[in-house]
Amino acid sequence: MTARLSVLCRKNVNRRACAWSVLFFLALARGEAGAQSVSQGAGKQEGTVIDLTQTGCQFVEAEGGTDHGYTTTQKSDCVEINSQTGEKRLQTAEPLTLKPGKYIFRVTNKNVPYELGFWLRGVGLARFVQPNVSGGGLKQGVTRDYAVELTPGEYLYSCPLNPTPDYPLIVKE
């Protein structure tokens, strides 16, 4: 695939589009690698465990441990709830601050009656080059591990299936 992109980039007059294609390919490759390391699961994973609990439309720990008790039966419920309250809740949320290193984000679907997931990625264009991890399969009552090695920078984490706000995560020495 990279060889094809290289040939296309040499022939392509629009170098900006070519650069975006290469960045997209690299992000996709990194995401697949992260998902593979998580889905293997049978082997021993290394890293500091970060526990996160999803309830309706939110991650509890990101909001100071407060479960707002939102009732949701489908994604559109959270779209509505977060359009009304998400920005205000994010203003009071403290960013999760970590040192660079290996982490296992242990995410639990506490009481949401549909399948959820987890997505951690860099902010803005950095999402194409910073480490990221994502995946689904979180049915009600299920806990799943997502392993990633984080480098310094700013990240966001959320659940696009719940959906939750984009919570900030900062990695620094």
Alpha-carbon distance values, 134 to 52, 124, 152, 159 (Å): 14, 17, 19, 9
Give yes or no for a contact between 31 and 132, defined as CB atoms under 8 angstroms apart.
Answer: yes
Give residue for tokens 């997209």.
24
Q: Residue 10's pLDDT is what?
A: 45
Note if the pTM is more than 0.85: no
Parent domain of 27: 2-171
Task: DSSP for the chain, please give it.
Answer: -HHHHHHHHHH-S-HHHHHHHHHHHHHHHHHHHHHHHHHH-SSPP-SEEEEEEEETTEETGGGTT-------SSHHHHHHHHHHHHHHHHHHPPPEEE-SEEEEEEEEE-S-SS-EEEEEEESGGGGGTS--EEEEEE-TT-EEEEEEEE-SEEEEEE-TTTT---EEEEE--
Give the count of domains, the chain: 1
Q: Residue 126's pLDDT is what?
A: 85
- Residue-wise pLDDT tens for the chain (173 aa)? 333 334 334 444 444 444 444 334 334 344 433 433 333 344 567 899 999 999 999 999 999 999 999 999 999 999 999 999 999 999 998 899 999 999 999 999 999 999 999 999 999 888 888 999 999 999 999 999 999 999 999 999 999 999 999 999 999 99
The closest alpha carbon to 116, from 82, 59, 161, belongs to 161
Q: Residue 127's pLDDT is what?
A: 85
Report the CATH number that the domain containing residue 40 is assigned in CATH.
2.60.40.420
Q: Residue 17's pLDDT is what?
A: 43
